[in-house]
Chain A
Amino acid sequence: MSTNVINGIDQSKIVQMLKQKKQMKVFLSICASCGFCADSCFLYRSYKDPRYMPSYKAINSLGRLFKKKKRVTRAMLEEMSDLIYGRCVMCRRCYCPLGIDISAMISWARTICRTQGVYERYDIDPMGRINKAAV
C-alpha cells in the first residue's frame, strides 16, 4: 500500500482519477450556475428540493473532489454518497443549456467513491423513501 493512504483514503488514486477526466474540469469551470437543469431531473420535478438538481449533485460531488484533491476525507465521501447514490438514479436524462454532460460527472464521482470503499447503502434511507412508500 502506498504512503499516500491517510484514514483509509488513497489521495493519489483520487488525484490520478481526476486527471483522467480533463473535460470534467472544463465542464465545472463553464457551468454558469443558471439552474435550468433542474427541470430535466424527474426527482427534482417530484420533490421540488434543490438538492435533487443535477448541477447541485455534480458540483457538490465531483466539484468538491476537484477543489479538495489531496485533502479529501472519508467523512466527505460519505456525505457525498448520500447525494450521488441517494439522490440520483443515473437515468442520464439531464440536459444543460451549455451542453455539460452532468450525469457523466455524477457517474465518475460514484466510480471514485467506489475505489475508496464508499458504496451505495441500501440499509440507510437518505431520501426517506421507505416512509413515503409506506404511506
Chain B
Amino acid sequence: MTVYDFIRGPLLWFSFIVFMAGLLFQIYKIFSITEKKERPKLIREEAKKSGLAGIKNYLTGKFSRVNVKGTILGTQPHMALLSAVFHACLIVTPFFVLAHNILLFESWRFRLPSFSESTTDILAIIFLACAFLYLLRRIFLPTVRAVSEIYDYILLLIAAAPFVTGFLAYHQLGDYKTIVILHILSGELMLVALGLTKLGHMVFFFFVRTNIGSEYSFRGGSRSWE
C-alpha cells in the first residue's frame, strides 16, 4: 500500500470517525455545563402585565430585541464581513470543488453539484486573503495580540493549510504528488482538530447564538455601554 492509498483510505476513515466523535464530544461538553434556567424572582408578574409595561412586554415577546448597534455588525462592520466571508468560503468551497466530486463519484457513484474550476479558484483566493487578514489582525491589533498564543496561530494555520495546498495542487505548482499528499493530510488534520480544539466553535456557535442572551447573539442583550 502506497502512502497515497493509505491517507486516502484508512487514515481518511480514521479522521472522519475522530471528527464525528469530536463533534459529539463538543456537544456533550456544552450540555455538561448547562443548568436549568433560573427565573428572576424579583419581577412581579402582575406588574409586567399592566399598562405600558404590558404593551412593551407584548412587543418584546413578538419582536426580536436584537439591537444591531451593539453587535459586531454595529461596532466593527468590517470584521463582521471578514468573518462571514471567511467562514462561508471555508464551509462551502470543499463541498463543491469539481475534483472532490469526481473522486466521490469514482468511489461511491454519487456526487454533489460542483462549481466551475475558476469559481473555486476565486473562492480559495478570497478565503486565503481573509485568512491573511486574520493573521495580520492577530499580529498587529493590540487587543487580539494580547490574548494570542502560539496555539492560536497554529489553529489558523491548520484552517488555512488545506486551501494553500489545494491551491498549489490545482495550479500544479511544486511536486504534484507531494502537494496532494500534504493536501489530504492537512484536510484530515483539520477534521480532527475541529472536534478536539477551539475550532469546536463550529458547534458552540449555534448554541450560543440561539440560547444565550448577549449583544453578540440573536437573543439580544442589555449590557452594551452605547
Contact = CB atoms under 8 A, between A and B. Distances in A.
Given A22-B32, A30-B198, A33-B152, A99 B217 contact: yes
Contacts of B224: 40
B42 interface: no
B145 interface: yes
B98 interface: no
B144 A34 contact: yes
A37 to B, nearest CB: 9
Contact of B216 (A59, A93, A96): A96
Contact of B214 (A34, A56, A96): A96
Contacts of B143: 35, 38, 44, 50, 53
Interface residues of A, number: 30
A95 B224 CA distance: 9
By secondary structure, the B interface counts as helix
B33 to A, nearest CB: 4
B216 A36 contact: yes
Nearest to A34: B144
Given A35-B147, A50-B142, A99-B217, A93 B201 contact: no
B52 interface: no
B94 interface: no
A1 B183 CA distance: 58
B200 A30 contact: yes
A3 to B, nearest CB: 33
A97 B147 contact: no
B225 A45 contact: yes
A33 B201 contact: no
Interface string A10-53: 00000000000011001001111111101110101100001101
Contacts of B201: 30, 32, 98
A22 B145 CA distance: 27
Contacts of A33: 138, 144, 147-149, 152
Contact of A98 (B32, B33, B75, B208): B208
30 contacts: A22-B32, A23-B33, A26-B29, A26-B32, A32-B201, A33-B144, A33-B149, A34-B144, A35-B147, A36-B72, A36-B76, A36-B216, A38-B143, A39-B75, A39-B76, A40-B215, A40-B224, A50-B146, A53-B143, A93-B225, A95-B215, A95-B221, A95-B223, A96-B216, A97-B208, A98-B204, A98-B208, A99-B207, A99-B211, A99-B217
Given A22-B32, A51-B146, A93-B225, 16 more contacts: A22-B33, A26-B32, A30-B200, A33-B138, A33-B148, A33-B152, A35-B147, A36-B72, A36-B79, A38-B143, A50-B143, A50-B146, A55-B147, A56-B146, A97-B208, A99-B207
